[in-house]
Structure 1
Amino acid sequence: MTVGVWILGDQLWENQAALNRIDDKSSLPIILIECWQHVQQRRYHQQKLVLIWSAMRHFAKELRGGGWQVTYTKSEDFEAPLKAWIQVHNITEVRVMAPNDRPFLQIVHNLRLPCKTTLIPNNQFLWTETEFKDWASSRKRLLMEDFYRASRQRFQVLMDSSNKPIGGKWNFDKENRQPPKGKLDTPKPLWFEPDTITQEVIAQVKSLSFPTYGKIEPFRWAVTREQAMQVLDNFIAQCLPAFGPYQDAMVTGEETMWHSLLSPYLNIGLLHPLEVIQAAETAYLEKNLNLNGVEGFIRQILGWREYIRGMYFYVDADYFEKNWFNHTQPLPEFFWDASKTDMNCLRQVLTQVEGSAYAHHIQRLMILSNFGLIAGISPQELEKWFHSAFVDAYDWVMQTNVLGMGLFADGGVLASKPYAASANYINKMSDYCGGCKFDRTVRSGENACPFNFFYWDFLARHRDKLQSIGRMSFILLNLDKMPPAELATIRQKAAEWHLGSQ
């Protein structure tokens, strides 16, 4: 009996479950496959392709250096190289760590291989699918905050000797929402120059014959575990001490602020969530950092990231087609070309995404998703764009995040209210409105900000549904106070915008 291990492109970790059960490295055949057919399913950002393929090639090199027997191949599909590899090594069982995404799990199930295929339980997350289901099945509500508290207790993170949260509160979010004021002394992100392997991948991606998205250079992402660890160390030393207050702030020319830039590396296995959480907690204890910032960061990893992944496998398959508001507007062309919008906030964020495949969480939620929600864009179309555009995007990341959190397409399974906002929020939390041709204070005039008239149109269109959500009652009272003539003008303007954009 000969066992072989197939390593997927987002499982680049030497301690991953399919590898760490093997004692004799030299006798274990390993294969990694660059599949061109697979990456043609979406118009992926070129930097996403470079990151994955370069990280895969570097990981294969590291494995060979560690004594592993590695086959690295490029192919139109997965099945042909797997069959050839199985034949060469007389493999009787192919082991693969369970994929993080449902579609890839189906790909594995559909393979017609001449030997046994075994899925090894995934260990890239802190909660297994079974553990999350056990937690969720006994609850009437599935709010992230409840899950986060259970996670803190289970893993004893930021807990005192009495098993109570350090600082007396579970959540310090109110202290982490300060608007940007004056000149912010932001830290410089840690970027890397492409080495020979990465340069070869860049050349390959440039030569692809199928459509892609975004600018490929400058490419500055980490592509090895060693580099990813340097990014983690840099975040802990340079960013985490001041991470808290301006987590939600958006500033022109400040693409990264104090954000960690760790999600691409967590999502492909170069970093493990527990080591990231422990590094932040250790820094808090040893350096006396502000608790609000450390707690806020840990909540993103231990709370939201684990929750989103758990929910992704917990919900039924029809979740991903949900459209509670029945939004059907097509995705505007400017999502693919930022120069085609005059809205400065959208142009700033989308230009940033084109250049780096990255935007921080509030840019994603309160600019991109917010616009999609209030403008009535199809949730599935917008989710597909998110999946294509971001360097850290995967099915498990974007489906529940975009459909549930960003667009409320699930009717409130994940979020307690829709994250809909007018230009007031954008003006408060950014400097984008100052450089815009539209007037943030006007909701129905000639130069009215589209975020304003779409916001009020959204509330009017869905008043009946929204009134069932307790947290929306105060906002709906403001809608009811609006003069009918003005509301009619607002709704007409929203309709005309859609007609003009098609």
Structure 2
Amino acid sequence: MNIGIWVLGDQLWHRQAAITTAPENTPIIIIESLAHIQQRPYHQQKLVLVWSAMRHFAAELRQQGKTVTYYEAAPNFATPLSEWVNLHQIQELRIMAPNDRPFLDKINHLQLPCKITIIPNNQFIWSETEFKQWASPRKRLLMEDFYREGRRRFNILMDGNKPIGGNWNFDKENRQPPKGKIAPPAPLWSEPDPITQAVISQVKSLHHIPTYGAASPFRWGVTREQALAVLDYFITYQLPDFGPYQDAMVTGQETMWHSLIAPYLNIGLLQPLEVITAAETAYHQRQLSLNSVEGFIRQVLGWREYMRGVYLYVDDDYANGNWFNHHHPLPDFFWDASQTDMNCLHQVLSQVERTGYAHHIQRLMVLSNFALIAGLSPQAVESWFHSAFIDAYDWVMQTNVMGMGLFADGGILASKPYAASANYIHKMSDYCGNCAYNYKLKTGAKACPFNFFYWDFLHRHRERLQKQGRISFILKNLDRMSEEELEEIRTLARNWHREQE
């Protein structure tokens, strides 16, 4: 039987399952689809990253002696696949299972003159089957339980049957506000080579296709060698002090001590277990602080694996969740940061426009928090996140945004809504110091929208939130407000939306 392999743009690993389970001389096809990138206005940095990484990966495969057919800017996937299958007389097309459900559905509906075989995905530590076996007997899918099971199962930071240091996590040590002058190391970036420069020019020329952000300056790595260099740089220079300020936000410090490896993990240039092993090895060999190493490992072994597992475990209808019944449209400033005078939003959104990146607290406690308390449509917010971020995929954003960020699933994933007033942003950033609004005020002309939206959110959903044990005590503060103050808060919230719409 003549076998062929289709390598997808987020499966750029030489040991991926479709390649390793096929005979050595099996022909490979890789396709750039213009139809695919028109599903939403993707960030130009992401298009450059994925297409350049795909082209570099194809070149590496050819250097290994493999037969690779590469289609640049094809109109769709179906046309080149049909041509290639007929040309090579392919009888079985093997594809490693995509992580995104919509793409798997697309594959299943392809009309090709050959058999299509889906090979289980091996780019995660937990297989889909293993996660379902862990999840199926449980009433609640708590990340902490999953994380501890992962530590035990893969013997990560363990001392026999107990966690090293006596605790499973050191979150309390990793929430320091950015007091005083802090000086994180500069991130390691890459210079575009001729292949990447050609992709940048191509992406800039896509005038007929809606996109977001800017393609240049482009500084991300596009090869496994460059991704490994970023990982090594992080382990050497950033991981030692990663923990304490991992939640902090500082103007002009876009990356802080964060690793910047998520884009590489999500397209296969790095593998999660090698990342975890590198961090754990550094802990033992260099006596790094346990709170920094554990905090980083929890992001990969815990949250990343958990989010993907939950995404594959829940029903297809998860994407339609809207527990709070929020329907306000996405404000225009999400697409153009210059249109907002809220400094925290301006800082984060302008950074995303330039780079396609923001760290997890900027995403959760600025962007998602605002969307939650302002009552924005969960589907509109998730679609924007998917468009805007360089590491975004359906499996990433469904659970992170719909579940953790917006509580649109009603608590399947998160134990409480991550709603906060301007006080949190003032504590964990320097954004409030140069803002048109006063972070202390919840009423009046200078009241911060984060404040009046926060209290309006609590008031609107008081009955539902009363059942959320970790947030119910905050609701008592509503009783201390006069009816006049509450009415002014509600009026400010309504007027804000009217001005936007």
| Class of the TM-score when normalised by the shorter of the 2 chains | over 0.9
Determine the structure 2 residue equivalent to 1:57: 55
Q: Which residue of 1 aligns with 2:104?
A: 105
- Structure 1 residues 91-490: aligned runs within 5 Å: 91-161=90-160, 163-208=161-206, 209-490=208-489
Secondary structure of the 2:30 match is strand
Q: How many residues align?
A: 499
Structure 2, gaps ≥5 residues long: none
CA distance in 1, matches of 2:297, 2:202: 37
1:7 matched residue in structure 2: 7
Cα displacement (A) at 1:84: 0.8
CA–CA distance in 2 between the matches of 1:150 and 1:477?
Answer: 37
Q: Which whole-Å CA distance do the structure 1 matches of 2:237 and 2:451 have between them? A: 37
Q: Which runs of 4+ in 1 moved over 6 A?
A: none
Q: Distance in 2 between matches of 1:216 and 1:435?
A: 29
Distance (Å, rounded) in 2 between the aligned partners of 1:463 and 1:181: 34
The CA distance in 2 between the partners of 1:414 and 1:187, in whole Å, is: 34
Give the aligned partner of residue 17 of structure 1.
17
Task: For residues 68-124 of structure 1, give each alpha carbon's deviation from its aligned partner in whole angstroms, at most 9, with x where no partner exists.
Answer: 100000311111111111111111100000001001001100000001000000000
For residues 224 and 472 of structure 2, what CA distance do their matches in structure 1 show?
49
Q: 1:266, 1:483 → 2: CA distance?
A: 51
CA distance in structure 2 between the aligned counterparts of 1:23 and 1:99, rounded to whole angstroms: 21
Q: Distance in 1 between matches of 2:324 and 2:472?
A: 18
Give 1:23 deviation, angstroms: 4.3
Cα distance in 2 for partners of 1:289, 1:480 equals: 48
When structure 1 is superposed on structure 2, of 208-217 and 228-237 the one drifting more is: 208-217
> What is the Cα deviation at residue 341 of structure 1?
0.2
Identity of paired residues, percent?
Answer: 70
- Which amino acid in 2 is paired with 1:50? V
CA distance in 2, matches of 1:61, 1:366: 41
Q: How far did residue 481 of structure 1 move?
A: 1.4
Whole-angstrom CA distance in 1 between matches of 2:169 and 2:189: 31
**Match of 2:359, as an amino acid?**
H
AA aligned opposite 2:199: V
> SS of the residue aligned with 2:70?
strand
Which runs of structure 2 are paired with 1:11-90 in the superposition (5 Å)? Answer: 11-24=11-24, 27-74=25-72, 75-90=74-89
CA distance in 1, matches of 2:214, 2:113: 41
The CA deviation string for residues 167-224 of structure 1, in whole angstroms up to 9 with x for no partner, is: 0000100000000011112111000110000000001101112110001111000000
Secondary structure of the 2:31 match is strand
- Partner Cα distance (1:254, 1:489) in 2: 36
TM-score normalized by the length of structure 1:
0.99
3-state SS of 1:347 partner = helix
SS in 2 for 1:34: strand
Give me the whole-angstrom Cα distance separating, in 2, the residues matched to 1:381 and 1:167. 43
The alignment yields a C-alpha RMSD, in angstroms, of 0.6
| Structure 1 residue runs without a partner (length 5+) | none
Take 1:285 and 1:255, find their aligned partners in 2: how far apart are those partners?
29
- The whole-number CA distance in structure 2 between the counterparts of 1:28 and 1:140 is 45
Deviations 1:400-422 (A, max 9, x none): 11000000000111111000000
TM norm structure 2: 0.99
Aligned partners of 1:22 and 1:281: how far apart in 2? 33
Distance in 2 separating the partners of 1:401 and 1:141: 17
SS in 1 for 2:328: coil
Give the letter aligned to residue 21 of structure 1: T
Deviations 1:444-502 (A, max 9, x none): 11110000000000000000100011111210011221111101110111000000111
Tell me the amino acid that sits aligned with residue 469 of structure 1. Answer: Q
1:22 deviates by 3.1
| Counterpart Cα distance in 2 of 1:23 and 1:211 | 40
State the 1:434 CA deviation: 0.1
